[in-house]
Amino acid sequence: MDNELAALTTIFTEFYYWMTVVLMFLIHVGFCMYEVGASRYKHHQHTLMKNTLLIPLVTITWFFFGWWIYWAFPTGPGLAPSIMTENSNLILGGGFGANDLANATNPLMAVNLGDHIMGVFWAAFLLFSWTAASIVSGAVIERITTFAFGILAIAIGSVFWSIDAAWGWHFDGWMLKILGYHDAYASGVIHAICGGFALGVLAVLGPRIGKFSSSGEPRNIGPRNPWLVCIGLFLIYTGFWGFYAACNVPIFNLGPEYGMEGVTFFTATNIYMTPTTLSGITMNFLLSLAGGLLAGYWVSKGDPFWTYSGGLAGIIAASAGNDLYHPLQSLIIAAIGTVCAYKLHYWVERKYKIDDAVGAVAVHGYAGVVGLVICGFVLWGYPSSGYSVGSMWVGTDYAPINPLGMIIGAIIMFGVLGFLPGWILAKILHGAGKLRIPRDVELAGLDYNIMEAASKDEKTVASSSR
């Protein structure tokens, strides 16, 4: 940085991503509160620990290999040519197939005076990874072992979502080039995949004891503490602002980036380096929240749990195209996604006896899939990348956004990279006897020993006179 303007741009961008990380931390606070509020008293503390431990586990594995996967596999490998060639000056070399910045042993993955962005960008993606694992966490409460959840959290948080991000959420991703995939705020690359992964795990894990009657009728195990659930979901909404901001590049000159001679065009961009505005996505975020809340209230006949969840499902459904939609389109898409998610949740629960304790598969998975499919129709014909018109990217084409590509993309996200790995890993853990807690422990409560010790402590203190 040898001039003030370059320094200002760089350090502004560094601070911008840093702020998004702080805001996104609230998503995790919200998820913890939400899960504890939804769990029963005798499982509270283990539920909290399970979700908390994904923070360190996903963080270290994201440093070890998660971030590297994102940079290593945008082209498949072998499914599409890369635009990161020597001509484009984007190839950085090294890093075992990825670029040097993502290599855990490279000096650039540390305090480095020559780089102000990669650490905060790494952290922003890490917070997405926590969210990915946390989505799965809520669905499996009260009966999964902490060990099994740790393995599954690493799998979804540092491996599978990272692969899908490389494929469909990277400016060089093969899904953009071949399918015309577009997913600006992660309807698919975070939400659909995690919903699918959770469903795969739940299919093996089975329901909580008592969830279904002997005739197969589902019973409601309502939130133990609705206030905690309410605050948790509000915090998730709040953190979602940071999530949206983190999916953008705040300031970028697209003229030279697209190879347009003599053109200067500074703007915010989405993750694919196509232009959008923070102003516009703010309106879309709020209108999709509103659409989800209204639809959630209506379809659930005023149920608070589903009204709040509807707000989240609404944002998730509209997220794929919220960089380009009109706010009123966001509103309608959010409402449709929320109604679909609600209906599918109860249909799957009855038909397949799936016990999704917090509705995570519905809110994230089904709403995400619906959002991707709708995006394919509404944004039909838009370029999936600005690089498709640049003369500097010789030999590489990007398909335009289209319904078929988005439907295939949704199947890849929810099914291929979500459900399938979740189901296989759960089967392996189940086969090793490590997936589910013993029946007697589930009945007694995971916290029984902690509560018993606390009770003894209380009696001892109460009977003390000095």
Partner 1 sequence: MATVTNWIDHLSASEVAGQVYPYVGTEWLWLTIAIVFWIWWHISTAAGETEEQAKLGRKKHGPNDYKKNIPDW
**Residue 445 makes contact with partner 1 by CB under 8 A:** yes
**Distances from the Cα of 282 to the Cα of 249, 289, 384, angstroms:** 15, 11, 21
**Residue 382 makes contact with partner 1 by CB under 8 A:** no
In Å, how far from its chain's centre is CA 314? 15
Backbone φ, ψ for residue 356 (5° rounding): -95, 100
Which tokens is 288 given? 């999709």
Q: Quick one: which of 4, 86, 111, 391 contacts partner 1 (CB under 8 A)?
A: 111
Nearer to partner 1, 343 or 459 (CB): 459
Q: Which of 341, 365, 339, 343 is nearest to 419 (CA)?
A: 365
Q: Quick one: which of 77, 97, 107, 222 contacts partner 1 (CB under 8 A)?
A: 107
Contact 337, 318 (CB under 8 A): yes
CA distance 276 to 270: 6
Contact 306, 350 (CB under 8 A): no
Contact 198, 137 (CB under 8 A): no
Q: Quick one: which of 78, 93, 114, 302 contacts partner 1 (CB under 8 A)?
A: 114
Contacts 24+ apart (CB under 8 A), 144-148: 144/50, 144/201, 144/205, 144/435, 144/436, 144/437, 145/434, 145/435, 145/436, 145/437, 146/46, 146/49, 146/50, 146/53, 147/434, 148/426, 148/429, 148/434, 148/435, 148/436
Q: Quick one: which of 52, 87, 112, 253 contacts partner 1 (CB under 8 A)?
A: 112
Nearer to partner 1, 5 or 461 (CB): 461
* CA dihedral of residues 24, 358, 141, 166 (deg, nearest 10): -50
Q: Quick one: which of 15, 147, 346, 352 contacts partner 1 (CB under 8 A)?
A: 147
Nearer to partner 1, 391 or 460 (CB): 460
Nearer to partner 1, 5 or 462 (CB): 462
Nearer to partner 1, 380 or 448 (CB): 448
Q: Minimum distance from CB of 111 to partner 1 (Å)?
A: 5
Looking at residues 58 to 87 of the shown chain, list those that interact with partner 1 (rule: CB under 8 A). 60-61, 64
Nearer to partner 1, 261 or 440 (CB): 440
Token look-up 């084409």 returns 397
CA distance 244 to 248: 7
Residue type, 170: H
Sole window of 20-28, 56-64, 272-280, 299-307 interacting with partner 1 (rule: CB under 8 A): 56-64
Nearer to partner 1, 145 or 307 (CB): 145
- Bridge partners (DSSP) of residue 249 are 269
Sole window of 185-193, 268-276, 382-390, 441-449 interacting with partner 1 (rule: CB under 8 A): 441-449
Residue type, 305: F
Contact string 397-436 vs partner 1 (x = CB under 8 A): -------------------------------------x--
Q: Minimum distance from CB of 113 to partner 1 (Å)?
A: 5
CA angle 349, 351, 353 (to 5 degrees): 50
**Residue 443 makes contact with partner 1 by CB under 8 A:** yes
**Residue 452 makes contact with partner 1 by CB under 8 A:** yes
Nearer to partner 1, 119 or 418 (CB): 119
Q: Minimum distance from CB of 182 to partner 1 (Å)?
A: 35
Looking at residues 151 to 190 of the shown chain, list those that interact with partner 1 (rule: CB under 8 A). 151
Nearer to partner 1, 129 or 187 (CB): 129
**402: helix, coil or strand?**
coil
**Residue 115 makes contact with partner 1 by CB under 8 A:** yes
Q: Minimum distance from CB of 64 to partner 1 (Å)?
A: 6
**Residue 11 makes contact with partner 1 by CB under 8 A:** no
Q: How many residues bind partner 1 (CB under 8 A)?
A: 40
**Residue 142 makes contact with partner 1 by CB under 8 A:** no
- Bridge partners (DSSP) of residue 212 are 218
Q: Quick one: which of 6, 8, 22, 110 contacts partner 1 (CB under 8 A)?
A: 110
CA distance 197 to 136: 7
**In angstroms, what is the C-alpha Rg of the chain?**
23
Residue type, 265: F
**Residue 461 makes contact with partner 1 by CB under 8 A:** yes
Sole window of 132-140, 264-272, 420-428, 437-445 interacting with partner 1 (rule: CB under 8 A): 437-445
Query: What residues make contact with partner 1 under the rule CB under 8 A?
Result: 41-42, 60-61, 64, 104-108, 110-115, 145-147, 150-151, 434, 437-441, 443-445, 447-449, 451-452, 454-455, 457-458, 461
